[in-house]
């Protein structure tokens, strides 16, 4: 094994051990425990010379308190069983609240226990640690780059799919049940695998807590974060267009009566309002509410992004916001993106549900095997059927500009969103003629920019 | 404050008794404990909390500065530790009297103030931290100070019980209700029991370790100043290596010339390369006025020299010119002398600078005893007798001066100085001693050889003689007539006794037989970076001189802090109008909701203490059912109380006077029942007795 790899592996093991120990220690030691431990250390430091100070006497007392606490914690073995009542979906960035049924099969009540959800280990694998740089890592100094601590912290935070809140359980009666509300704060979209329940039992002094895990594997789908989007006038809304109508649940005019008007040649005879014809002496027809559909393509760029890219996550959030909002309008939406293969999902007007679209978006991953041209291909294939295209792009390079140019040449109205770094400035390029349809979305201001639509 | 009533006060009083700040401690205790009974609170903004903590930081800095100027070696760390409750009083008082009962981490850390989220937002109640600080500060007191009356500090034996009691009290308030109280008592009892014997064991262990380590180090240390014996390097092969580190600085005063030798110790008995001091009668010198120590009262001094040097742990031996009569400006706790002319100081600062006044016609040593004249090791006797015979030392009629001249000339003419002792200095058959080899074969050696040989020859010639160790003064330093003494100037020489002649008393004189070339040979050992290290030593010396000087620096330092403290206090209290908020409206002064004074809240708190707290977002009715299921309260009374509470709280019409009284009565009923339950006792985690509901 080369020395460099050995060094990296050594660092990796150190970080892994350190993170593991601090995590477990953080759970095990209560705030009072920290106070005792810090007091113990200070008393030890101050009482190092027993002929100079008396602090060593406080040290010995605290030391034996800690020993007795550890001794007593061996006897803390609560026996409980759990049942989770989970909702089907959660949303990234929104608290996920659910109930847990705690059952105490023993003949004595259980007091002062704490409960917390057992989430998957966020520590990255060695391969991930070696291959995934932290954004902006190149700006760090040589030492930080070689040690990779910031990269480790970044990867741990990226792999933490959710944060669990600890709850203090009220007394669980002997052979009784208790329904406890728990809360999770999912931070990432996708499947959140819950492993089980962790019960923390304090020792009599309240210094340490015993950790007991109860396996209870379950999965909950976390939908992407969504932004509030105002009612938008999408490009290419034209009445009586044909595309997509065949997909709708009802076709043509609805039964809704709107008004009367003079007969024009070509109006069906069955729409003539005979009473008015008789009164006025000229043919009058009934008008009905138009049923018309707009079909849009929502194109999501999945190319040229690293793992855990914030840009990509935000792009997915923007796509989810559109798919969620547009569905409430009279529109069909074709979501197009390229994953392991090219996908096109159509939803709206009875075809598919919003949740399905969001579920798809919850699972979408960056594409590394294919080129941007594969996305271009799928969009062009479906172009005949759509009246407008919403593109959510991750950069504004020549290839993407050419693609937009091509769409415009083919006469399709385009609304372009480019998710960019905070301080990037983009020239509209092919969108110079319609700058209002070109929207750079800098990180941190995405919600603000979308609200301006 | 979230400490139980009076705990903080007791801890402060304990600290006051230990450190001698009892009056201040009592005031502080009253100040902090009163906050538990006064409901009014000051509304400090986050920034004001920051400033108050900054004030504590400033006080800590100032106290650290003042502590570091102290002459007592223990003060810088332990003294500072003893002042901590004073220093952090502003912030704990701000928490106690402020509207927020917790401080953010941002307040307590200058680094976190720049951060907006994460750890910076975490809140911390510092009451118990302050309590711990009081106990630690009390523990920072030297165990020697005890038994000074009823309000005096606790002694080594009683301190443990005091500190353990306060800690048990604190731990009791933090205990979990998971186990029965008796289990808790047994466990804490065990901890206290083991802790008591543990602290005795720890103390004994240190004593044992210290003794072992001192012995161990003593075997290796070349110049460990041992009052009882001096292990010489006689017969030890190799080079005697001593560094060029400056150990002393001398400034002769009033144009007098510096002493050539500064003596630390003298010994009277020799054997097996070890010089021993057989007599140790030690006497204390008493201080006169302003750090003046007199060795000879009523004797005028003829020359004086200012000596500066460093003490290890505030104690050490003074290297003094012979005939020293008075020590001035010597800021130490005690000065001890013995019959062999030793001067030892204790309880001093790290650095001392004093004036040694001396009269060459005096000596501080006791008159000779027969050993000083006769003690010659048996092994050495033959060789010495032969040399004395050759030199004609025992020819009757020779005066002391003549004899000394002969001995001096003998060494000067026939011997050379060498610090490098080779195998040829040692008899391979071990028939001859190291001293005999020196005198008969090699005729070269270092000062210990010369001094020992000269003592033996003098004794052989009937002159009382002793072996002296100390330093030779031979190097000037820059301008101003200052002399420096380096570690390699460590020297050994002979003391010979000149009998008194009626007018003048008997006198021990320095008699140095080491060839004059020794200082040149030693000077050659100077390392090439000596100028650099000398410069550093000079800077340290100048700083120490300033720091430990007798100026009123400490007072100035305090006055320097005053404007800063005034400025901060002004910023805190007068920068804008204070808003004083009344009781009951601490959290939300604007919105006064009806029913907030409902007695059910008291009930809720009481039940929470028994593990029946209302969970977040748990409806009142569900909680009511859960509580009723435990049968710890009268079901009907509790039900009525909850219903009335709901109406009192949310019904726009509220309750009339009768209903209000009914709510009060029902809650009281429930509380009475709960307290009776306590009296009956809770065993095994659930309520054991089930009295009938009336």
| Mean of pLDDT values over B664-685 | 70
> CA nearest A63 in B: which residue?
B195
Token code pair at residue B66: 């003042």
- For residue A268, the enclosing domain spans 253-288
| Mean of pLDDT values over A284-295 | 73
Contacts of B326 by beta carbon, 8 Å cutoff, 6+ apart? B292, B293, B294, B295, B296, B301, B356, B357
Q: Is A243 helix (H, G, I), strand (E, B) or coil?
A: coil
A20 domain residue, yes or no: yes
User: What are the pLDDT digits (tens) for A302-321?
Assistant: 887 777 788 888 999 999 98
Winning range, highest mean pLDDT, from B324-333, B574-583, B586-595, B657-666:
B657-666
A155 domain residue, yes or no: no
What is the domain count for chain A?
4
Q: What is the pLDDT of residue B690?
A: 35
Contact A110 B685 (CB under 8 A): yes
Same domain, A301 and A406: yes
**How many other CB atoms are there within 10 angstroms of residue B380's CB atom?**
21
Q: What is the pLDDT of residue B584?
A: 45
Token code pair at residue B218: 């003593």
How near does any CA of chain B get to the CA of A63, in Å?
8
pTM: 0.61
Q: What is the pLDDT of residue A246?
A: 40
B 34-63 residues with CB < 8 A to A: none
Winning range, highest mean pLDDT, from B45-54, B531-540, B549-558:
B45-54
Contacts of B20 by beta carbon, 8 Å cutoff, 6+ apart? B145, B153
Scanning A327-430, the segments in alpha helix (DSSP H) are 354-363, 372-382, 398-409
B325 within 8 A of B297, measured Cβ to Cβ = no
A245 domain residue, yes or no: no
Chain B residues touching A171 at Cβ < 8 A: 610-612, 630, 685
Respond yes or no on whether ipTM tops 0.95.
no
Q: Average model confidence (pLDDT) for chain A?
A: 85
**Model confidence band, residue A233 (pLDDT cutoffs 50, 70, 90):** low
Last residue of one domain, picked from the residues A49, A74, A99: A74
Report the 3 state secondary structure along A92-111: CCCCEEEEEEEECCCCCCEC
A425 domain residue, yes or no: yes
Same domain, A104 and A198: yes
Same domain, A96 and A214: yes
Q: Rounded CA gap, B404 and B417, in Å? A: 19
Same domain, A80 and A168: yes
Same domain, A38 and A110: no
pLDDT tops 70 at residue A113: yes
Contact A49 B206 (CB under 8 A): yes
Same domain, A382 and A447: yes
Contact A55 B139 (CB under 8 A): yes
DSSP string covering B123-174: EE--HHHHHHHHHHHHHTS-TTS---STTSPP-HHHHHHHHHHHHHHHHHHH
Closest CA to A102 of A208, A6, A176: A176
Q: Rounded CA gap, A359 and A220, in Å? A: 11
Find the distance separating the first CA and the last CA of chain A, reported in whole Å: 56
Chain A residues touching B18 at Cβ < 8 A: 54
Q: Rounded CA gap, B75 and B140, in Å? A: 10
> CA nearest B137 in A: which residue?
A55
Same domain, A65 and A165: no
Closest CA to A323 of A419, A229, A190, A446: A229
**How many other CB atoms are there within 10 angstroms of residue A195's CB atom?**
16
**Model confidence band, residue A108 (pLDDT cutoffs 50, 70, 90):** confident
Residues belonging to chain A:
453
Q: Which of A32, A47, A68 sits opposite B191 (nearest CB)?
A: A68
Chain A residues touching B685 at Cβ < 8 A: 108-111, 171
Q: Which of A42, A68, A174 sits opposite B190 (nearest CB)?
A: A68
| Mean of pLDDT values over A229-248 | 50
- Starting at the edge strand that comes first in sequence, how are the strands of the sheet with A388-393 ordered? A342-347, A331-338, A294-300, A388-393, A414-420, A438-442
What's the farthest any 2 CA atoms get from each other in chain B? 129
Q: What is the pLDDT of residue B693?
A: 34
| Mean of pLDDT values over A332-346 | 81
Closest CA to A162 of A218, A113, A201: A218
Q: Which CATH number is A355's domain given?
A: 3.40.50.410
A131 domain residue, yes or no: no
How near does any CA of chain B get to the CA of A180, in Å?
8
pLDDT tops 90 at residue A277: yes
User: What are the pLDDT digits (tens) for B260-305?
Assistant: 888 888 888 887 778 888 776 777 777 767 678 888 777 777 888 8
Q: Is A330 helix (H, G, I), strand (E, B) or coil?
A: coil
Same domain, A26 and A94: no
Token code pair at residue A420: 């960019």
Q: Is A204 helix (H, G, I), strand (E, B) or coil?
A: coil
Same domain, A421 and A305: yes
Q: Rounded CA gap, A268 and A323, in Å? A: 37
Q: Which of B18, B175, B194 sits opposite A206 (nearest CB)?
A: B175
B250: β partners: B307, B483
Q: What is the pLDDT of residue A247?
A: 41
Weakest mean pLDDT among A206-210, A249-253, B531-535, B570-574: A249-253
A351 domain residue, yes or no: yes
pLDDT tops 60 at residue B682: no
**Model confidence band, residue B135 (pLDDT cutoffs 50, 70, 90):** very high
Q: Which CATH number is A214's domain given?
A: 2.60.40.10
Q: Rounded CA gap, A126 and A14, in Å? A: 12
Same domain, A177 and A262: no
A19 within 8 A of A149, measured Cβ to Cβ = no
Same domain, A17 and A114: no
B158 within 8 A of A64, measured Cβ to Cβ = no
Token code pair at residue B550: 């007798």
Find where tokens 């030392």 sit.
B393
B124 within 8 A of B102, measured Cβ to Cβ = yes
User: Which is more confident, B525 or B437?
Assistant: B437
pLDDT tops 80 at residue A337: yes
Q: Which of A55, A170, A176 sits opposite B140 (nearest CB)?
A: A55
Q: Rounded CA gap, B472 and A230, in Å? A: 95
Q: Rounded CA gap, A80 and A201, in Å? A: 12
A144 domain residue, yes or no: no
Contact A67 B191 (CB under 8 A): yes
**Model confidence band, residue A59 (pLDDT cutoffs 50, 70, 90):** very high
Q: Which of B143, B163, B207 sits opposite A61 (nearest CB)?
A: B163
Phi and psi angles of residue B103, each rounded to the nearest 5 degrees, phi first: -110, 150
Closest CA to A63 of A43, A82, A80, A78: A43
Same domain, A360 and A438: yes
How near does any CA of chain B get to the CA of A74, in Å?
13
Q: Which of A60, A62, A171 sits opposite B611 (nearest CB)?
A: A171
| Mean of pLDDT values over A81-97 | 92
pLDDT tops 60 at residue B516: yes
Weakest mean pLDDT among A52-56, A244-248, B214-218: A244-248
Chain B residues touching A160 at Cβ < 8 A: none
Burial class (CB in 10 A: 0-12, 13-18, 19+), A296: buried
Contact A64 B191 (CB under 8 A): yes
- Return left, alpha or beta for B182; rule: phi > 0 is left, psi -120 to 50 is alpha, else beta: alpha
A235 domain residue, yes or no: no
Last residue of one domain, picked from the residues A288, A310, A333: A288
For an interface test with B, give the residue of A61, A75, A111, A176 to mutate (most B CBs within 10 A).
A61
DSSP string covering A123-176: PPPHHHHHH-PPTTGGGS-HHHHHH-HHHHHHHHHHH--EEEPPEEPPPBPTT-
User: What are the pLDDT digits (tens) for B447-457?
Assistant: 888 898 899 88
pLDDT tops 60 at residue B679: no
Q: Rounded CA gap, A308 and A157, in Å? A: 10
Q: What is the pLDDT of residue A20?
A: 94
Q: What is the pLDDT of residue A386?
A: 79
Q: Which residues of B196-230 are buried (b: 16+ CB within 10 A; e: fewer)?
A: bebbbebbeebeeeeeeeeeeeeeeeeeeebbeeb
How near does any CA of chain A get to the CA of B195, in Å?
4
Weakest mean pLDDT among B55-64, B84-93, B590-599: B590-599
B298 within 8 A of B331, measured Cβ to Cβ = no
Contact A61 B81 (CB under 8 A): no
Q: Rounded CA gap, B290 and B307, in Å? A: 17
């Amino acid at each position: 094994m080369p020395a460099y790899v050995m060094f990296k592996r050594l660092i990796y093991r150190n970080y892994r051990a350190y993170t593991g120990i601090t995590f477990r220690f953080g759970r095990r030691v209560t705030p009072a425990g920290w106070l005792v431990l810090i007091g113990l250390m200070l008393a030890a430091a101050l009482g190092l010379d027993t002929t100079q100070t008396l602090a060593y006497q406080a040290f010995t007392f605290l030391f034996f308190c800690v020993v007795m606490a550890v001794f007593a914690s061996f006897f803390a073995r609560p026996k409980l069983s759990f049942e989770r009542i989970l909702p089907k979906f959660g949303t990234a960035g929104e608290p996920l609240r659910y109930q847990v049924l705690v059952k105490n099969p023993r003949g004595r009540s259980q007091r002062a226990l704490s409960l917390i959800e057992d989430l998957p280990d966020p520590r990255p694998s060695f391969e991930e640690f070696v291959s995934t740089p932290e954004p902006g890592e190149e700006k760090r100094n040589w030492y930080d780059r070689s040690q990779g601590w910031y990269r480790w912290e970044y990867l741990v935070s990226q792999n933490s799919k959710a944060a669990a809140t600890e709850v203090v359980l009220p007394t669980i009666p002997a052979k009784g049940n208790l329904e406890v509300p728990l809360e999770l704060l999912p931070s990432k979209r996708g499947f959140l695998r819950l492993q089980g329940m962790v019960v923390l039992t304090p020792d009599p002094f309240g210094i340490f807590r015993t950790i007991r895990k109860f396996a209870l594997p379950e999965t909950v789908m976390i939908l992407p974060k969504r932004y509030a989007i105002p009612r938008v006038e999408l490009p290419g809304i034209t009445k009586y267009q044909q595309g997509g109508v065949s997909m709708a649940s009802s076709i043509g005019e609805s039964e809704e009566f709107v008004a009367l008007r003079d007969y024009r040649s070509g109006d069906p005879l069955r729409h003539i309002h005979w009473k008015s014809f008789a009164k006025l002496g000229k043919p009058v027809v009934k008008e009905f509410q138009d049923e018309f559909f707009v079909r849009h393509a929502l194109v999501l760029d999945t190319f040229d992004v690293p793992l855990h890219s914030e840009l990509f996550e935000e792009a997915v959030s923007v796509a989810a916001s559109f798919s969620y909002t547009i569905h409430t309008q009279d529109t069909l939406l074709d979501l197009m993106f390229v994953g392991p293969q090219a996908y096109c999902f159509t939803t709206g007007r009875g075809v598919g549900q919003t949740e399905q679209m969001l579920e798809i978006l919850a699972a979408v991953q960056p594409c590394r095997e294919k080129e941007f041209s594969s996305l271009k291909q799928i969009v062009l294939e479906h172009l005949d059927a759509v009246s407008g295209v919403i593109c959510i792009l991750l950069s504004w390079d020549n290839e993407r500009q050419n693609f937009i140019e091509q769409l415009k040449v083919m006469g399709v109205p385009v609304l372009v969103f480019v998710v960019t770094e905070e301080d990037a400035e983009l020239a509209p390029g092919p969108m110079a003629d319609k700058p209002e349809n070109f929207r750079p979305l800098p990180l941190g201001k995405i919600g603000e920019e979308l609200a301006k639509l | 404050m979230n400490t139980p009533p009076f705990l903080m006060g007791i801890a402060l009083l304990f600290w006051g008794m230990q450190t001698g700040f009892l009056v201040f401690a009592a005031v502080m205790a009253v100040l902090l404990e009163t906050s538990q009974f006064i409901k009014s609170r000051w509304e400090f903004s986050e920034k004001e909390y920051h400033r108050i903590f900054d004030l504590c930081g400033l006080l800590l800095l100032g106290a650290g500065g003042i502590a570091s100027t102290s002459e007592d070696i223990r003060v810088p760390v332990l003294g500072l530790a003893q002042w901590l409750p004073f220093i952090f009083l502003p912030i704990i008082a701000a928490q106690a009297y402020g509207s927020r009962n917790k401080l953010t981490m941002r307040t307590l850390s200058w680094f976190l103030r720049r951060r907006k989220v994460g750890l910076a937002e975490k809140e911390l109640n510092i009451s118990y931290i302050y309590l711990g600080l009081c106990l630690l500060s009390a523990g920072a007191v030297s165990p020697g100070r005890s038994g000074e009356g009823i309000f005096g500090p606790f002694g080594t034996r009683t301190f443990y019980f005091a500190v353990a009691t306060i800690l048990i009290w604190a731990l009791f308030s933090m205990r979990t209700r998971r186990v029965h109280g008796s289990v808790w008592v047994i466990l804490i009892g065990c901890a206290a029991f083991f802790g008591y014997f543990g602290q005795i064991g720890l103390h004994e262990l240190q004593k044992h370790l210290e003794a072992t380590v001192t012995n161990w180090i003593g075997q290796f240390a070349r110049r460990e100043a041992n009052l009882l014996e001096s292990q010489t390097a006689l017969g030890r092969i190799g080079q005697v290596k001593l560094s060029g580190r400056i150990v002393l600085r001398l400034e002769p005063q009033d144009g007098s010339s510096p002493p050539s030798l500064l003596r630390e110790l003298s010994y009277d008995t020799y054997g097996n390369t070890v010089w021993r001091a057989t007599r140790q009668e030690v006497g204390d010198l008493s201080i006169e006025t302003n750090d003046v120590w007199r060795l000879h009262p009523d004797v005028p001094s003829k020359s004086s020299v200012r000596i500066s040097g460093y003490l290890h742990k505030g104690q050490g031996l003074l290297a003094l010119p012979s005939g020293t009569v008075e020590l001035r400006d010597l800021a130490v706790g005690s000065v001890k002398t013995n019959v062999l002319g030793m001067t030892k100081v204790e309880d001093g600062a790290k650095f001392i600078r004093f004036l040694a006044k001396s009269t060459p016609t005096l000596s501080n040593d006791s008159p000779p005893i027969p050993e000083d004249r006769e003690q010659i090791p048996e092994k050495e006797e033959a060789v010495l007798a032969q040399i004395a015979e050759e030199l004609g030392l025992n020819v009757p009629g020779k005066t002391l001066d003549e004899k000394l001249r002969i001995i001096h000339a003998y060494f000067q003419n026939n011997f050379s100085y060498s610090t490098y002792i080779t195998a040829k200095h040692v008899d391979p058959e071990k028939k001859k001693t190291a001293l005999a080899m020196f005198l008969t074969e090699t005729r070269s050696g270092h000062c210990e050889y010369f001094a020992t040989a000269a003592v033996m020859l003098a004794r052989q010639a009937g002159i009382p003689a002793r072996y002296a160790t100390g330093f030779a003064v031979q190097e000037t330093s820059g301008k101003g007539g200052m002399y420096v003494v380096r570690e390699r100037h460590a020297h050994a020489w002979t003391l010979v006794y000149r009998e008194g002649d009626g007018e003048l008393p008997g006198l021990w004189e320095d008699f140095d037989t080491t060839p004059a070339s020794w200082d040149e040979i030693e000077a050659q050992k100077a390392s090439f970076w000596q100028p650099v290290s000398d410069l550093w030593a000079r800077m340290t010396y100048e700083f120490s001189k300033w720091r430990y000087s007798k100026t009123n620096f400490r007072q100035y330092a305090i006055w320097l802090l005053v404007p800063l403290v005034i400025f901060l206090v002004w910023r805190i209290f007068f920068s804008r109008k204070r808003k004083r908020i009344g009781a009951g409206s601490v959290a939300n002064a604007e919105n006064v909701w009806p029913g907030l004074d409902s007695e059910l809240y008291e009930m809720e708190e009481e039940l929470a203490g028994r593990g029946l707290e209302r969970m977040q977002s748990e409806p009142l009715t569900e909680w009511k059912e859960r509580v009723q299921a435990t049968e710890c309260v009268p079901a009907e009374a509790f039900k009525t109380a909850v219903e009335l509470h709901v109406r009192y709280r949310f019904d726009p019409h509220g309750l009339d006077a009768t209903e209000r009284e009914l709510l009060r009565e029902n809650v009281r009923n429930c509380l009475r029942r709960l307290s009776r339950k306590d009296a009956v006792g809770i065993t095994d985690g659930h309520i054991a007795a089930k009295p009938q509901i009336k």
